[in-house]
Amino acid sequence: MLAPTPQGVTPERRAVQFKLANGMDAVVIPDHRAPVVTHMVWYRVGAADGPSHRSGLAHFLEHLMFKSTEKIADGAFPKIVMELGGQLNAFTSQDVTVYHERIAKEHLGQMMAMEADRMVNLRLTEEEVATERNVIIEERASRYDNSPNARLSEQMNAALYLAHPYRLPVIGWAHDIAQLSREDALSFYKRYYAPNNAILVVAGDVTPDEVRDLAVASYGKIPANPAVASRDRAKEPPHEVARRITLQDKRVANATFQRSYLTPSYATAESGAALALSLLMVIVGDGATGRLFRRLVVEDKVAAGASGGYFGGGFDSGIIQMQAVALPNRDLGDVEAAVDAVLDEVRENGVTELELNRAKRSLRAAYTFESDEQEKLAERYGRALSVGRTISEIEGWPAAISQVTTDDVKAAALTHLDIRRSVTGHLLPEITNARSAQPRQVSAP
Amino acid sequence: MDVQTITSPGGIEAWLVEDYAAPMFVLHYAFKGGASQDPIGKEGLTNFVALMLQQGAGDLTAVEFQQRVEDLAIRVEFVPGVDAVSGSIEALSETRSEAAELVNLALTRPRFDAETVERARRRLLGFHGGEARAPHLVANAQWNAVAFAGHPYGREIYGTEASVNRITPEDLRSYCKRVFAKDRLKVVAVGDITVDELGVFLDRLFGDLPANADLVEVSKVSPVTGGRLRVAEMDVPQSVVTFGMGAVSYDSPDYIPAHVLSHIFGGDGFSSRLIRELRVKRGLVHFASTWLERRQHAAVFRGRMATRNDTVSQSLQIVRDEMQKLSDGHLSQEELDDAKSYLTRSYPLTFGSHSKIAAQLLDHSMDGFGPGFFETRKATIAAVSLGDLKRVAKHLLDPGNLIISIAGTPTLQPPRNA
């Protein structure tokens, strides 16, 4: 049989890491295929670091970072980047807030100067803050309030964590967003935005020495903020009971099942458990060859689709999620029973060598294909370093995946598919006589 | 970047960008046809076929086919479109020839086993009951139905529950025979492959397809003029608004000026007029954008935004007012220069990976441009003058022609004149 070994044929891409005198970390991933660079600043602060009565604060600040400084007028930051032909954006997760640009390499120095400027010189007016708050309320409506599945996911998350701030949505609860103020944003900014709480990631057509010189001349001029402390978040107590929630929504036609398990992450797991969980969930939940799909969709014919995955990138924990959409005439109870049968089987008997080898090939190939895209390459390093992992762990991942045994996978299933650490969610249609999506002609302008 | 035009020993043409930085290779291809070929009453057929192509072929059952894909560590996709069915293959160099054989099997000997067809049908019906009810899809479908009433473009690629229920395995089989043919094929290859190797690959992949497709002629069409406003009532807190009108086609000299105009009005990033007026100044929306839509038989200028039900009227009035300003010639040289600078200088970023290069070049090829287009594009954009822009704005952007489709429960007031 053919056994491609992507880790053997991929040219070794060694990222280079260094630290500035003020404590800012930097990593450079040379990629000389095109004269383009990806420049990212990863702040080690995310939604889970804000005060619990101000959910959404980190994301709110991310939006406001596009306002002015003394040097850059309101709205000018994106305008300058775009005039130079660059693209830019930002995102916030539970653990990080990230700003990034892709641009021709000759503009890297200017991007660094602009990012360094807004690291400490942000100005905000009351009016800018009020307007942006409304933008976020619209964003929340698009992403959550308008979508039944997203509403269920948000509720599942709130139920999964008993104490840890991951229970709060990154975008924030609507009532908290409405209260976020200029002072909230600025105090969060002053506390967490500092070179010693940030990681510079540059991938592209540059050498580590060039990047170091540019970084020293920009970020290097900003003094460290001694007030930045290590993360101190509420810890989860032992989980003693499984939780269940049901959400009814009139827009739902087909009942949907979701399940989440609280697990370790790559940053917290002991001795390879996260690797085993990654492989376990490829075997259980990935695509049309996964066990869930084969059992629920192909054999039992109770679901139209079924899948699952392991998300191990978190600073404090990871999560296993799975979902299945019931066929119109099938009960969600049958769907849930079939999912549990698949999980019981894997806990009891583990996985086969054939399945494991296929899952390993699949993950290693995904790693190789991902390396083709510069932004994803940069993101891979930023994501891992920002939760305390190392470059050798990142680059050694395909080889480490190869070492996992069927025993490791079985042990991971036994330990971590623990119903007491789970939430089960049912999304059901709501029977009402509410209006359906019937078009009505209103008027012609 | 060097784009070569090559012809395989078997006569299949392709564009090739050789790149040996990594031992992988990407092929993107498209068969013209697509959902515009779905028979009346069998809307959703193209979509059904695309879903089925990885569900068993030759001696391989659905699960065996998928396992083969995983064993070879390749990525295979079939994507249904309005005007074409496209596909892609990503493979490491060492599994290239097996990849060609497997995808050839899918294109020439798909199984369409009754049980697998029913499984796929259940999934498609599930889509109709679920995702298809998302407000943006409802608004979009309604826009197409109004703008293109009576034309294949007025129907949705995923059909209706009733039409999906009518599709038989025989429909799927005959569609493949009609559409998958060499004369309607466009191909782009990027990566670790030589001209000769690509020739062998193409013949293995496509060589035994029929020479000629058997397609129904699709007529040219323009979105209805004179303006329309249609609401699909949905109980959601935020309305999704799709708006647009007819535009200019690729072969028109006004195409590139219209592209620049669309960028100024509602293009990428944070500095378009719509974003400035709707988001930055007033906080009415999180996103609002406009674009020229890629269609083979119609030219469309489209936009989308989402806003609270009670701010729909205000937001729409701003869209109309901003459109009127452009139409009246309120455009500056500085805006034009900024737009040209962005559109020419950001273009290389769209070539960020093998896969992106192939996708971008295939789009150009499908639109009828030559392999040199990516080089001449810059000069064509640079040549756009303020006069061109004003001329195109005046005849393109008449707010009176706006077709507006809303999904939500908007409070609406009649528009006022700008």
Tokens of A194: 């500092």
> Residue A308 falls within a domain, yes or no?
yes
Residues of A in contact with B234 (CB under 8 A): 251, 435, 437
B346–A86: do the CB atoms touch at under 8 Å?
A: yes
A444–B229: do the CB atoms touch at under 8 Å?
A: yes
| Confidence (pLDDT) at A276 | 98
Q: Which residue has the higher pLDDT, B61 or A4?
A: B61
Chain A's closest residue to B408, CA to CA, is: A437
DSSP code, position B110: B
A141–B306: do the CB atoms touch at under 8 Å?
A: yes
Terminal C-alpha separation, chain B: 47
| Confidence (pLDDT) at A368 | 83
> Residue A8 falls within a domain, yes or no?
no
Q: Which of A300, B112, B108 is nearest to A292 (CA)?
A: A300
Tokens of B76: 């295979």
A327–B66: do the CB atoms touch at under 8 Å?
A: no
Q: How far apart are CA B207 and CA B10, in angstroms?
A: 6
Count Cα neighbours of B415 within 13 Å in the Cβ-side half-sphere.
21
A361–B73: do the CB atoms touch at under 8 Å?
A: yes
Residues of A in contact with B353 (CB under 8 A): 372-374
Mean pLDDT score, B331-335: 95
Total count of residues recorded for chain B = 418
| Confidence (pLDDT) at A441 | 41
- Segment B167-223, tens digit of pLDDT: 999 999 999 999 999 999 999 999 999 999 999 999 999 999 999 999 999 999 999
Count Cα neighbours of A131 within 13 Å in the Cβ-side half-sphere.
18
- Chain A CB within 8 Å of residue B395 CB: no
> Residue A6 falls within a domain, yes or no?
no
Terminal C-alpha separation, chain A: 66
Residues A199 and A299 in one domain: no
Q: Using the predicted structure, report yes or no on whether residue B407 has a pLDDT greater than 80.
A: yes
Q: Which of A410, A293, A292 is nearest to A342 (CA)?
A: A292
Q: Which of B129, B124, B125, B131 is nearest to B49 (CA)?
A: B124
Residues in Cβ contact with B354 at an 8 Å cutoff, skipping those fewer than 6 apart:
A372, B19, B22, B24, B25, B26, B90, B190, B191
Q: How far apart are CA A347 and CA A261, in angstroms?
A: 14
* Amino acid at residue number B243: F
Range with the poorest average pLDDT among A133-142, B251-260, B314-323, B408-417: B408-417
A10–B271: do the CB atoms touch at under 8 Å?
A: no
Q: Using the predicted structure, report yes or no on whether residue B227 has a pLDDT greater than 80.
A: yes
Pairing relationship of beta strands A422-429 and A243-249 according to DSSP bridges = parallel
Chain A's closest residue to B69, CA to CA, is: A362
Q: Which of B291, B320, B313, B321 is nearest to B304 (CA)?
A: B291
Residues A254 and A394 in one domain: yes
Fold of B4-206: Cytochrome Bc1 Complex; Chain A, domain 1 (3.30.830)
Q: Which of A82, A292, A297, A362 to mutate against chain B (most B CBs within 10 Å)? A: A82
R_g of chain A computed on alpha carbons: 24
- Chain A CB within 8 Å of residue B96 CB: no
Q: How many Å lie between the alpha carbon of A180 and the closest alpha carbon of chain B?
A: 15
- Chain A CB within 8 Å of residue B149 CB: no
CB atoms within 10 A of CB A55: 26
Q: So which residues of A are the catalytic ones?
A: 62
| Confidence (pLDDT) at A236 | 96
Q: How many Å lie between the alpha carbon of B87 and the closest alpha carbon of chain A?
A: 17
Residues A169 and A256 in one domain: no
Query: Residue A272, by phi and psi: left (phi above 0), alpha (psi -120 to 50) or beta?
Result: left
Domain ranges of chain B: 4-206, 228-408
Q: Looking at the partner chain, which of A2, A104, A137 has a beta carbon nearest the beta carbon of B345? A: A104
Tokens of A137: 């309320």
SS3 A41: strand
Residues of B in contact with A134 (CB under 8 A): 282-284
Chain A's closest residue to B122, CA to CA, is: A304
Task: Divide the 445 residues of chain A into consecutive groups of 10 and give the mean pLDDT of each group.
Answer: 39 82 97 90 97 96 95 90 92 98 96 98 95 94 89 96 97 96 97 97 96 98 92 94 94 90 96 95 94 95 95 98 92 96 98 95 88 91 96 94 97 97 94 45 40
A4–B63: do the CB atoms touch at under 8 Å?
A: no
> Residue A226 falls within a domain, yes or no?
no
A374 in Cβ contact with A38 (< 8 Å): yes
Residues of A in contact with B72 (CB under 8 A): 2, 4
| Residue at token pair 């009609």 | B178
Helix (H) or strand (E) holding B198: helix B195-206
| Confidence (pLDDT) at A445 | 37
Helix (H) or strand (E) holding A257: strand A256-263
CA angle, B207 as apex, B206 and B209 as ends, to 5°? 70
Q: How far apart are CA B46 and CA B36, in angstroms?
A: 9
| Confidence (pLDDT) at A444 | 37
Mean pLDDT score, B85-114: 94
Q: Looking at the partner chain, which of A66, A251, A443 has a beta carbon nearest the beta carbon of B229? A: A443
A287 in Cβ contact with A239 (< 8 Å): no
Residues A285 and A217 in one domain: no
Residues A284 and A337 in one domain: yes
A85–B94: do the CB atoms touch at under 8 Å?
A: no
- Confidence bin at B261 (pLDDT 50/70/90): very high
> Residue A5 falls within a domain, yes or no?
no
Q: How far apart are CA B232 and CA B228, in angstroms?
A: 13
| Confidence (pLDDT) at A13 | 58
A141–B75: do the CB atoms touch at under 8 Å?
A: no
Residues A191 and A272 in one domain: no
Count Cα neighbours of B48 within 13 Å in the Cβ-side half-sphere.
35
Q: Looking at the partner chain, which of A6, A78, A375 has a beta carbon nearest the beta carbon of B269? A: A78
Residues A191 and A288 in one domain: no
- Chain A CB within 8 Å of residue B350 CB: no
Query: Residue B362, by phi and psi: left (phi above 0), alpha (psi -120 to 50) or beta?
Result: alpha
Q: How far apart are CA A301 and CA A339, in angstroms?
A: 12
Kindly provide the residue ranges of all beta strands, DSSP E only, lying in B147-227, ordered along the sequence: 185-191
Q: Which residue has the higher pLDDT, B354 or A212?
A: A212
A72 in Cβ contact with A117 (< 8 Å): yes
Residues A342 and A422 in one domain: yes
| Confidence (pLDDT) at A35 | 87
A362–B73: do the CB atoms touch at under 8 Å?
A: yes
Q: Count the domains in chain A.
A: 2
Q: How many Å lie between the alpha carbon of B93 and the closest alpha carbon of chain A?
A: 10
- Confidence bin at B352 (pLDDT 50/70/90): confident
- Confidence bin at B5 (pLDDT 50/70/90): very high
Q: What does pTM read for this prediction?
A: 0.90
DSSP codes joined into one string, A197-214: GEEEEEEES--HHHHHHH
Q: Looking at the partner chain, which of A35, A138, A362 has a beta carbon nearest the beta carbon of B306? A: A138
Residues A100 and A196 in one domain: yes
Range with the poorest average pLDDT among B89-98, B166-175, B234-243: B89-98
| Confidence (pLDDT) at A431 | 65
A36–B352: do the CB atoms touch at under 8 Å?
A: yes
CATH number for the domain harbouring residue A96 = 3.30.830.10
A19 in Cβ contact with A215 (< 8 Å): no
Residues A132 and A188 in one domain: yes
Q: Which of A138, A378, A43 is nearest to B282 (CA)?
A: A138
> Residue A436 falls within a domain, yes or no?
no
Residues A58 and A184 in one domain: yes
CB atoms within 10 A of CB B373: 16
Residues of B in contact with A305 (CB under 8 A): 123, 126
Tell me the CATH number for domain B228-408: 3.30.830.10
User: What is the count of residue pairs from A and B with beta carbons less than 8 Å apart?
Assistant: 236
Whole-number mean pLDDT of chain B?
Answer: 93
Domain that holds residue A140: 14-221
- Chain A CB within 8 Å of residue B360 CB: no
Residues A215 and A247 in one domain: no
Burial class (CB in 10 A: 0-12, 13-18, 19+), A169: buried
Q: How far apart are CA A332 and CA B394, in angstroms?
A: 57
Q: Looking at the partner chain, which of B138, B238, B415 has a beta carbon nearest the beta carbon of A141? A: B238
SS3 letters for A385-443? Answer: HCCCCCHHHHHCHHHHHHHCCHHHHHHHHHHHCCHHHEEEEEEEECCCCCCCCCEEECC
Query: Residue B349, by phi and psi: left (phi above 0), alpha (psi -120 to 50) or beta?
Result: alpha
- Confidence bin at B68 (pLDDT 50/70/90): very high
Residues of A in contact with B349 (CB under 8 A): 36, 85-87, 102-103
| Confidence (pLDDT) at A271 | 80
> Residue A28 falls within a domain, yes or no?
yes
Q: How far apart are CA A167 and CA A5, in angstroms?
A: 40
Residues of A in contact with B287 (CB under 8 A): 142
B349–A146: do the CB atoms touch at under 8 Å?
A: no
A26 in Cβ contact with A215 (< 8 Å): yes
Q: How many Å lie between the alpha carbon of A153 and the closest alpha carbon of chain B?
A: 15
> Residue A439 falls within a domain, yes or no?
no
Buried b / exposed e across A232-257, counting CB within 10 Å, b at 16+?
A: ebeebeebeeebeeebeebbbbbbbb
Residues in Cβ contact with A76 at an 8 Å cutoff, skipping those fewer than 6 apart:
A68
